[in-house]
Amino acid sequence: MSGTAAPGPGIELATPDPADAPPRAPHGSPEQPLGIVIDCDPGHDDAVAILLALARPDLRVLGISTVAGNAVLESTTDTALRVLALVGRQDVEVAAGAAHPLHGPLRTAPHVHGESGIEGSPLPAPASTAIAEFAPHAMARWIRGATGPVVLVPTGPLTNVALLLDEHPDLRERIAHICLMGGSLTEGNITPAAEFNIWADPEAAAIVFGSGIPLTMIGLDVTHRSIVWEAERRALLDEGGPVARTVAGLLAYFQGFHERTYGWAGTPIHDAVAVAHLAAPGLVRTAAVNVEIETEGLWTRGRTVADLRRVTGRAANAHVGLDIDRERFVRILVDAIRSYD
């Protein structure tokens, strides 16, 4: 059965953030755009996240790094280059990174994104090539070269980010924030316990969540409420210009998985929420809590174990998303996409 009722209420957490909570995610302005590095595995929603970031005058994309996840590395890198070609932004550097998680085999998601990682709309051929530098090294260079604060926006498995932190420990001070899509406070989507990006490389996620760098976790609790309903897509994108129509085709395909799995006549755009959170203060409601990554559990590997009631006494290491203003999110997204045509 398909419906357009928003799934469940947002999570309520009445307790205020503790005094020692890490800083919240910074925001940019058109006068002082926030420098971001998008580390991604495109992927339908990664592609939309890239398009959103590039359209925003308050964000400046310093570079795009790719990781294996939704599809093999060759495909995710190729897709990132195609997305840039779609909007004529081949000036943005793309660096390919890890082809496998830190431990264990690569497991992709063709049941969600199709074999190429991005079925549903033909994308133009790449108009540029990936740079020769390994992504974690390119990320380090982009961060070092930035004049203002830099935020990492990982929207895939956290392998590249873990390698970056491991190989360039001095950069921890230079990274103002990590605003990632991943994890869940409630149910998972690849197992009952785990969300795909964290499950795909839990050891990397444990390094990132334990890094001490201020972090925001945009998990399924928020992204499953960031749905673009089919009726909205038809009204706002299907009849638009070439970029809008390409995105509409991607969303229609991505809806297939969510319709089959959850019965939704629409699709969440998970990864774009992590970008939108940096562009729109107040869009996502968050709370500061401790989050640990389960790397052992037979049934729970990749679980983000969040101490919502602060029963462990562990210091808060993350702001976790609890709820989102969905209609505002859709407006932000549609305005960005339509600005290209």
Which residues make up the interface to ligand BDR (CB under 6 A)? 43, 45-46, 70, 109, 112, 155-156, 181, 189, 195-197, 270-271
Q: How many residues does the chain have?
A: 341
Only one residue has tokens 């869940």, namely 184
- What is the footprint of Ca ion within residues 46-85 (CB under 5 A)? 46
Going by C-alpha positions, the residue among 45, 27, 44 that lies closest to residue 36 is 27
Strands 284-289 and 318-324, how do they pair? antiparallel
Active site residue 270: yes
Residues of span 256-295 touching Ca ion by CB under 5 A: 271
User: What are the counts of helices (DSSP H) followed by strands (DSSP E) for the chain?
Assistant: 12, 12
Exposed, middle or buried by CB within 10 Å (0-12, 13-18, 19+), for 310? Answer: middle
Smallest distance, ligand BDR to C-beta of residue 260, A? 14
Residue 43 near Ca ion by CB under 5 A: yes
Supply angle C-alpha 157, 7, 303, rounded to 5.
30
**Min. distance of Cβ 46 from ligand BDR in angstroms?**
5
Q: Which does 143 bind (CB under 5 to 8 A by kind): Ca ion, ligand BDR, none?
A: none
Residue 150 and residue 112 in contact, taking contact as beta carbons nearer than 8 Å: no
Judge residue 315's burial from the number of C-beta atoms within 10 Å of its C-beta, 0-12 exposed, 13-18 middle, 19 or more buried.
middle
Binding of residue 156 to Ca ion (CB under 5 A): yes
Give the CA angle between residues 81, 28, 173 to the nearest 5°: 85
Task: Tell me how far apart the terminal alpha carbons of the chain are, to the nearest angstrom.
Answer: 35
Q: Which of 177, 224, 270, 319 is catalytic?
A: 270
Least distance between ligand BDR and beta carbon 191 (Å): 11
* Closer by beta carbon to Ca ion, 97 or else 156: 156
321 makes contact, choosing from Ca ion, ligand BDR, none, with CB < 5 to 8 Å by partner type, with none
- Enter the DSSP assignment of 308: T
From 155, 223, 255, 286, residue interacting with Ca ion (rule: CB under 5 A): 155
294 binds, among Ca ion, ligand BDR, none (CB under 5 to 8 A by kind): none
Least distance (Å) between residue 156 CB and Ca ion: 4
Among Ca ion, ligand BDR, none, what does residue 195 contact (CB within 5–8 Å per kind)?
Answer: ligand BDR
Q: State which residue, 71 or 243, has the beta carbon closest to ligand BDR.
A: 71
Q: Which does 112 bind (CB under 5 to 8 A by kind): ligand BDR, Ca ion, none?
A: ligand BDR
Catalytic residues: 270
